[in-house]
Structure 1
Amino acid sequence: MFASLRKKVGVAVAVAGALALSACAAPAPEVSGKLTVWTEDYYVAIFEPLAQEWAAEVGIEIEFVTKDFFEMTNQFIAAVPAGEGPDLFIGGMATTLLVGNGVVAPVELGDKANLFSANALAAGQLDGVQYGIPFSIENVAVYRNTDLAPEPAATFDDAIATGNELVAAGSADSPFAVGVGPDGNSYLLMGLQSSFGSTLFDGEELTIDDQAGQDFAAALADWGASGAINPDMTLDIALTQFKEGRTPYLITGPWDLNGIKESGVPYAIDPIPSAGGEVAAPFAGNYAVYQSSEATNPLAASLFLTDFMTRTATAVGIFEGNKTLPALIPAQEEVSTDPDVKAFAEIGATAVSIPGLAAMDQVWGPWGETEMAILRGQAADPVQAWIDMGVRIREAIAAG
């Protein structure tokens, strides 16, 4: 089962008035009919006003269908072979999974490929063939309340010490906020895990349970027992505490930036402080648009990818909604003066890509479950629980 990489809290502020689409775009092939797009509520709010203007320009109808964030990828995979899927799917980059299930079609960008960040574009490829058209490059970081913690923490231990002092003084409710509950959130914790030197795979060989991973498991147990990381803290609680000035630190991504700005809390965006002595490298994630292999309007779907998704105005419009670095280079240049975008981009320079392996589908569940068991003190031996997790993952991968 495809596990989500992260869940956005609520729906970001919709784009305030669709950006005018470029009137000087190259002539497009004539299209007609209707396009159907599936995505989560967050991106319906951002994409729809932009796409409706483009659809009117090229002479088609476009309908956005809201899908549950956690279920939509599996729903898309099931619906396409049955002839019940959309023309286009907007979601987290899952190229290996989608191509492996035969549910997405290749796209020819030609010279327009040069408009995109090479790394982001590569995440949408398999065996040199382009399938997904990226629009956002994201990673998590630490939002720091500059009233409660005027200076960045040098290490995770330093951050927890500062947070504990604030809690003891009655100035904060939590020393550090990260939304892991109730089912785990390995995506948000990866930065801390990687600072122990822990990786998931070396090529196709599973490495998550090596000595570095075991060291992280031991640290998780300490953090859970001390209250440094609260296993009952959900994404909503973590974000609310930070917005209300009740915690000095929050791990999340740019998708929460608009809400944090609106709250009025003073903030800075910092790298995740190292817990294990090495650089904390969060995941680098990409969001993309895919064309269904069974699209009912393939010509219009292809035009959406090669025309609408390659326009600077589109990419900037999406950025205004999600505050995530655009994958389109001309749009990156246009928004590069935003200090928050610059901060996330600098932190993202150390980010690691999510392994583009079908085996990752067998990793997310046991990984998150084991982290939560350790944080809750339910694992009598945290290191052995981590080793057992590795055994479970290998068995699941072998079973297909």
Structure 2
Amino acid sequence: MRIRTAGVVTALALALAASGCSGGDDDPQTPTSAAPAGASGKLVIWGDDKRAAALKPFAEKFGQENGVTVEVQAISKDQQTTFVTASQQGSGPDVMVGAHDWIGNLVQNGAIDPVQLTAEQQQGLAPNAVKAVTFNGQVYGVPYATENLALIRNTKLAPEAPATIEDLVTRAKALRADKKASELLCLQVGQNGDAYHAYPLFSSAGGYLFGTAANGDYDKNDLGIAKPESIAAFKKIQALGEKGAGALKRSITVENSIATFTAGKCAYLVSGPWAITDVKKAKIAYDISPVPGFAGGKPAQPFLGVQSFYVAAKGKNKALAQEFVTNYVTTPELAVALYQAEPRPPVLTAAYEQVKGTDPDLAKFVDAGRNAVPLPAIPEMATVWDPFGKAESAVIGGADPKTALTAAAKTISGQIKS
């Protein structure tokens, strides 16, 4: 979740939606101890490189227990696009592993079925993760890990967590004046902006992307980007920018934000669990706390990302796929293996309790994500990343917030309607 871009493929998210929505699997829950009736042949699972490697021994065991062949295939790039295209062509997998914010696009393209989790199984999962994989009132994925942004600080330079973003800037300026750090804040922006990393500050200042309906679902018809509260939020962000405090800079990018922090050039880094490996390698003394919001504003709300297992609607062995994702993915043994492959807080409560004692960072990231909101899973979110990011970058460089956001909203609205 390092950066979000238009690479989610806006055209795929909207144009292919005409293919319609697939119905769910109405078969009753299959007992854990037995293979689904008629299970035979081959189960194909797609995931990224790290997930695929972690899954292989468990997939082999599942195959042996159920008398079937299981193939785990690594899809290195453009997983969502590759999956949707393969689904349309009838050449996709039975199970797909991916991010929860794919769901709206996958459902509208008829690429996934609802999953058949029992009430007891759902109770064993983190509630915010279950909410994230729920779309139109149905659960479409079995979540296994969460991720969110936090403030990672160099405790040698900044022993205490700042209460507000203004407090952070004040402390960082003092460090720069003492020539202990050259940058105030490592929060990636780049020339094209980064809506994902900007969102905690945007939300703290009162901005919003989409409103919500009475049932809590995101409302595509309530686009908030050019609304007065969002423009006011961007004015506060601009005050942190290159012509203001200098805390937000386009020279801090996805490529160098973590490296700048690990080199000791800034005391504060806004990033996620993926940054910790590099921080540890650099032997930086660090701590993790929530991203601070603006003084007098709302608490900063990072996005919550949830990694999930999906049952392919056009898979060749859907009953077996349901068995695997509902009764195998929800076991602590597999959840812990996935955690070990790439540390993220496990969604399965039993797995989280098992690993948290060996990794104190887990609880800190979970705490930093208590105010997190699920990334919008509606297909229309694909139209937001690029225009919003470019508006953010322009405003940080000194452009007028109202002009930049009005132009971004016009672009987004045009893509949603097209």
Sort the TM-score into its range (normalised by shorter chain). 0.7 to 0.9
Q: How does 1:238-387 map to 2 (within 5 A)?
A: 238-275=257-294, 277-337=297-357, 338-377=359-398, 379=399, 381-387=400-406
3-state SS in 2 of match to 1:74: helix
Deviation at 1:42, TM superposition (A): 4.1
Deviation at 1:48, TM superposition (A): 4.0
Contact 1:2 1:74 in 2 (8 A): no
Say whether 1:3 aligns with 2:11.
no
Aligned to 1:77: 84
3-state SS in 2 of match to 1:81: helix
Aligned to 1:224: 242
Indicate how the Cα distance of structure 1 residues 221 and 105 shifts in structure 2: closer, same or farther if over 3 A, else same: same
| Cα distance between partner residues in 1 of 2:407 and 2:321 | 45
What amino acid is the match of 2:89?
A
Deviation at 1:280, TM superposition (A): 0.8
TM-score normalised by structure 2 residue count: 0.82
| Cα distance between partner residues in 1 of 2:42 and 2:54 | 20
Q: What is the alpha-carbon root mean square deviation over aligned residues? A: 2.4
| Cα distance between partner residues in 2 of 1:314 and 1:41 | 16
3-state SS in 2 of match to 1:373: helix
Deviations 1:128-162 (A, max 9, x none): 33221111122110001000111111221221232
| Cα distance between partner residues in 1 of 2:35 and 2:393 | 52
The percentage of aligned residue pairs carrying the same residue is: 31
| Cα distance between partner residues in 1 of 2:341 and 2:43 | 22
Aligned to 1:9: none
| Cα distance between partner residues in 2 of 1:234 and 1:53 | 42
Aligned to 2:26: none
| Cα distance between partner residues in 1 of 2:382 and 2:191 | 20
TM-score normalised by structure 1 residue count: 0.86
Which deviates further from its counterpart, 118-127 or 87-96?
118-127
Aligned to 2:127: 118
| Cα distance between partner residues in 2 of 1:266 and 1:61 | 43
Aligned to 1:150: 159
3-state SS in 1 of match to 2:112: coil
Indicate how the Cα distance of structure 1 residues 177 and 127 shifts in structure 2: closer, same or farther if over 3 A, else same: same
Contact 1:146 1:266 in 2 (8 A): yes
Say whether 1:34 aligns with 2:42.
yes
| Cα distance between partner residues in 2 of 1:275 and 1:348 | 17
Indicate how the Cα distance of structure 1 residues 387 and 175 shifts in structure 2: closer, same or farther if over 3 A, else same: same
Give ranges in structure 1 of 5+ residues lacking alignment.
5-24
Deviation at 1:242, TM superposition (A): 1.9
Deviation at 1:57, TM superposition (A): 4.9
Q: How many residues align?
A: 375
Give ranges in structure 2 of 5+ residues lacking alignment.
1-5, 10-30, 213-218
Deviations 1:204-252 (A, max 9, x none): 2112322221122223333133431221322231111222322201111
Contact 2:226 2:402 in 1 (8 A): no
Indicate how the Cα distance of structure 1 residues 267 and 29 shifts in structure 2: closer, same or farther if over 3 A, else same: same
| Cα distance between partner residues in 2 of 1:233 and 1:357 | 29
3-state SS in 1 of match to 2:406: helix
